[in-house]
Structure 1
């Protein structure tokens, strides 16, 4: 069974495809930014989008929603990191954090849904901090990867790509989803029902 990851983000698709390939789950990209839901609840955003897109495309889909939560900003921007990035950029974000607590964490909710069914979702988190400089400006990475240092390390994600996969909030959420899919596929195979996960 083929599953479709709905994202317009090539970095995200590459990361999730590698993970799903290791789990022997075939995925393809639907190159589309998922609709932005009006909510501050990241789980609600991911599940609502998964259900809507599965019903719209009549295919099993996976989507995710990721937030970054700054302690100094009372967990803002939460599920709206793209808005903050587009509005403030690096300089604006770093200025707002001057002299403040730099603890932060990423959270991803990965959701899966088949047409006409209810979604399932899984959460991954990675704690760390925001540094006061922009690193790896020449690397093709997602914006926050240049300023986020995961807990227990002194380098930003862009400097440690080989370690990032083991720490990533997104990888954690999607690995839980992959485990769920494999279990359901095995159960359906035992029952003789091979129409999906």
Structure 2
């Protein structure tokens, strides 16, 4: 079975391949995507994931998966949410983290709850289905850790004292919001 992963983010391609391999989806090949990026004008993670998966399927003719993910901070009413990748007005991860930390500078530790959310859409020409994973935690006061990408250096998963960027990739890939959504996708694919 082949799936096109509708992203130009090399980090996501590697992460998705590693997670699906560990979930034991037999004979699955995840292909990179070199097509155009559609306008993500949905108002939910699911809508944006479907927009990207539909575009990849239309461009390649191969079953496509896409994810839309972000960080939802409770005290900010769920923001940055679907705007996570461009929270600072750019797609610069460091600037996005810097802005979010500045916005939360005076927020007490007990009010810094946040969750990473990932919705994965599968479009294969006959079906369109979504799977959502949530990784609860809180926003740190400062960046820490060399691993990961995006908001990983400022996200402390529930039950841990390390940021997601301080976790070894295998540990993060077992716990993350993307892993939870991919586990649901893997279960679906195994039953096909």
Please give the range of the TM-score, normalised by the shorter of the 2 chains: 0.7 to 0.9
* Equivalent residue number for residue 21 of structure 1: 21
Partner Cα distance (1:170, 1:85) in 2: 23
* Equivalent residue number for residue 144 of structure 1: 151
Is residue 111 from structure 1 mapped to residue 111 from structure 2 by the alignment? no
Change (3 A) 1:80 1:29: same
Is residue 7 from structure 1 mapped to residue 10 from structure 2 by the alignment? no
2:86–2:96 contact (8 Å) kept in structure 1? no
Is residue 68 from structure 1 mapped to residue 71 from structure 2 by the alignment? yes
Alignment of 1:101-180 (within 5 A): 101-115=111-125, 117-136=126-145, 139=146, 141-161=148-168, 162-180=170-188
Q: 1:155 is paired with a residue of what secondary structure?
A: coil
Number of aligned positions between the proteins: 181
Over residues 83-113 of structure 1, what are the superposed CA-to-partner deviations in whole Å (9 max), with x where a residue is unaligned? 1155443332111102222110011011111
Change (3 A) 1:91 1:52: closer
CA positional deviation for 1:170: 0.4
Is residue 91 from structure 1 mapped to residue 94 from structure 2 by the alignment? no
1:6–1:33 contact (8 Å) kept in structure 2? no
Partner Cα distance (1:31, 1:154) in 2: 38
TM-score normalized by the length of structure 1: 0.84
TM-score normalized by the length of structure 2: 0.86
The structure that has the greater radius of gyration is: 1
1:7–1:32 contact (8 Å) kept in structure 2? no
Structure 2 unmatched runs, 5+: none
* Equivalent residue number for residue 43 of structure 1: 46
1:126–1:150 contact (8 Å) kept in structure 2? yes
Tell which deviates more after alignment, 153-162 or 30-39: 30-39
Partner Cα distance (1:56, 1:15) in 2: 23
Tell which deviates more after alignment, 173-182 or 27-36: 27-36
Change (3 A) 1:60 1:164: same
Partner Cα distance (1:64, 1:158) in 2: 20
Q: 2:87 is paired with a residue of what secondary structure?
A: helix
Tell which deviates more after alignment, 105-114 or 158-167: 158-167
What is the root-mean-square deviation of aligned Cα atoms in Å?
1.8
CA positional deviation for 1:16: 0.7
CA positional deviation for 1:125: 0.3
